[in-house]
């Protein structure tokens, strides 16, 4: 591992290494009128309906929601769209 502040290389022992890539919305959303200020799909947190376009709904990692970007989050979001 490299210390970005000092440039020093450090060896670290571990049993499990979980690397997460940067999470961002795809450009076709982040650079469109569908995006919130942070680039994710601008949906209502309770209904998952877009805040500007009534015929757009969202689910999953693309949404501007206060949830993690995981399958577990999608699992809890799905019933909102199905009911």
pLDDT in tens, 5-58: 999 998 989 899 888 777 889 999 999 999 999 999 999 999 999 999 999 999
The pLDDT value given to residue 83: 60
pLDDT of residue 56: 97
Cα dihedral angle (82, 76, 45, 58), rounded to 10 degrees?
-50
**Contact (Cβ atoms closer than 8 angstroms) between residue 60 and residue 77:** yes
Average pLDDT over residues 72-79: 84
């Amino acid at each position: 591992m490299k210390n970005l502040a000092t440039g020093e290389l450090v060896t670290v022992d571990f049993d499990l290494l979980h690397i997460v890539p940067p999470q961002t919305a795809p450009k076709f959303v982040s650079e469109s009128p569908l995006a919130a200020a942070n680039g994710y799909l601008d949906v209502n947190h309770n209904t998952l309906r877009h805040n500007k376009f009534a015929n757009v709904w969202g689910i999953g990692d693309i949404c501007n929601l206060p949830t993690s970007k995981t399958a577990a989050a999608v699992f809890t979001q799905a019933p909102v769209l199905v009911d």
